[in-house]
Structure 1
């Protein structure tokens, strides 16, 4: 993904989640995906898919069991 596309994704996420500390950055040696972080903490990856001229993005985020609250 080029720099403009990365900036557009970052703006979309910041506006959608109302969180200015979301950062989207290129992945080393990967051109089909970018990394997403909040502050210094990595939270997931966005993959770009192009099919029949239409572009879509898939955000993948893993949530570890140890990060979930104990009792709710």
Structure 2
């Protein structure tokens, strides 16, 4: 993803979830997606759908995290 896209997504996540600790970061060796964090905690990945220009956020929730 381009740095401008990452900045826009970063601002969107912070605003949407009302959490200034959220961060969207470029992925090493990948340019089709970005990583989402709260502080040092990895939350998920944002992918851009090149066909329609939309973004998709994917977050895995482990069973052990629910208990």
Q: When the two structures are superposed, what TM-score results if normalisation uses the length of structure 2?
A: 0.95
Displacement of 1:50 in angstroms is 1.5
Structure 1, unaligned stretches of length 5 or more?
Answer: none
Structure 1 residue 7 displacement after superposition: 0.4
What is the root-mean-square deviation in Å for CA atoms of aligned residues?
0.8
Q: Say which structure is richer in strand.
A: 1
Moved over 6 A (4+): none
How far 1:2 moved relative to its partner?
1.1
Question: Under a length normalisation based on structure 1, what TM-score does the superposition of the two structures give?
Answer: 0.89
How many residue pairs were aligned? 67
- Higher Rg of the two aligned structures: 1
Gaps of at least 5 residues in structure 2 are none
1:6 Cα offset (Å): 0.2
Partner residue in 2 for 1:55? 53
What do residues 8-64 of structure 1 show as CA deviations (whole Å, max 9, x unaligned)?
00000100000000000000111110000000100100001111xx30100000000
The equivalent residue for 1:4 is 4
